[in-house]
A and B are shown apart, each in its own frame.
Chain A
Amino acid sequence: MIETFKHIQQSLEATPHLLRLGRLFSETVLIEIDGSEYYLSFEKGHIVSLVEGPSRKTPWRFALRTDAEALEEFWQVRPEPGFHDIFGLVKIGRGRIDGDILSLVKNLRFFKEVLTLARAREELAA
């Protein structure tokens, strides 16, 4: 999974409109997948560090908790209904969002498009 996040990190650097959208976003986000923790630290829209947990001392602003199977479907070019969006994962009981949700909502387009950078990879490979 860390490789996927590295791919997202690299793709983000090659996506100018996302760097522009995220220019005010400097927060750490926890992605938890089947209990495994991944801390994505953003600085002015760039992912400056990717750290695998577990960690009890890494502060984070908001968290997305889901499972690997759900994320695999989420990253399909055309996911099944409910798997097509992070709020869809929440709605169908396959995801949970914790923490400062307003911070997420203020940066929602940026964060959702960053996460789907892994989806774009599959689209290119197809």
Chain B
Amino acid sequence: MSIEPITGRYVAVTVGGAPRRIYFEEAGRGRPVICLHTAGADTRQWRHLMNDAEIAASNRLIAFDMPWHGKSLPPEGFETEEYLLTTEAYIETVLAVIDGLGLDRPVLAGCSMGGRIALQLAALHPERFSGFIAIEASDFQPAWYDIDWFHRPDAHGGEMGAALVSANISPFAPNAERWNTLWMFMQSGPGVFRGDLSFYTKDASLIPRLPAIDTAETPVHIIAGAYDLTCTPEDAERTAKAIPGATLAVMDELGHFPMSEHPDGFRPFFVEALEKMPGTVAAAA
């Protein structure tokens, strides 16, 4: 029998003038690192890294469920609202959580739409962070699918979403973690994946902001998996080139959900990314 070091609690914040009850998990101590999940998923994607004793020895990893995801309830009145995530609401939520937790310039690590918003925050609110790790992140991705497939009364959006995103998981991923990763999409609430994808596939506002990111003040490290069909290494490379001083790592055997689909394969890339961030206390070997 063993009990994991991850603890989960709730923090009350205000977003868009209305209260939100945000579920967050944390593990470790030292430099704070905020970890953002992908579209259609939740904090559980980060559980392997949060349980990594060497990483947690010098990093306080904090992951939270966006409203509508995981254990963070949607806001009051959601039953008549069409959920469509926006860049503005996403930024406001991340900053509200940082304030709510009293964090001083954390590192921000985000995957997929979390990586996209990390780059938006690098451009718009760099003073609130010490550095950015943007995983499977790019300037913009138009949809190669119809996002309306994933919210309809005659089929299960979660099962369809999981079947679609399985295209983004590497064949090198251990089978158990492949299916754990897909389970989160299967559990996603009705319309949530669609609403996340709306943000991810329709808002191109990041593109002109990239050249203004000052990596001398806040480093930006981008990581991309070769098996990611949504954010390909070419997409990540294009994005890194547009940010003066940004660095890039390509993972040959990983896909779009590296921390979740293949944690052992992702670990060295995440450790390398952490070492590029300010405030590194000791190298996590």
Known A78-B172, A105-B160, A108-B160: A85·B167 in contact at CB below 8 Å: yes
Can you list, as one digit per residue, whether each of A94-120 has a CB less than 8 Å from chain B (1) or not (0)?
000000011001101100100000000
Are the CB atoms of A106 and B155 closer together than 8 Å?
Answer: yes
Alpha-carbon separation in the docked complex, A106 to B160 (Å): 6
Query: B149 — which chain A residues lie within 8 A by C-beta?
Result: 102, 105
In this assembly, does B171 line the interface, its C-beta being within 8 Å of a C-beta of chain A?
yes
Are the CB atoms of B229 and A105 closer together than 8 Å?
Answer: no
Report A101 CB to chain B, min CB distance, Å: 8
In this assembly, does A44 line the interface, its C-beta being within 8 Å of a C-beta of chain B?
no
- Number of contact residues on A: which range applies? 10 to 19
- Number of contact residues on B: which range applies? 10 to 19
Are the CB atoms of B155 and A87 closer together than 8 Å?
Answer: no
Query: A102 — which chain B residues lie within 8 A by C-beta?
Result: 149
Query: A78 — which chain B residues lie within 8 A by C-beta?
Result: 171-172
- By a beta-carbon cutoff of 8 Å, the part of chain A in contact with chain B is 77-79, 81-82, 84-88, 90-91, 101-102, 105-106, 108-109, 112
Residue contacts A-B, CB under 8 angstroms, 27 given: A78-B171, A78-B172, A81-B227, A84-B170, A84-B171, A84-B227, A85-B166, A85-B167, A85-B229, A86-B167, A87-B144, A87-B145, A87-B164, A87-B229, A88-B167, A88-B229, A91-B144, A102-B149, A105-B145, A105-B149, A105-B160, A105-B164, A106-B154, A106-B155, A106-B160, A109-B166, A112-B166
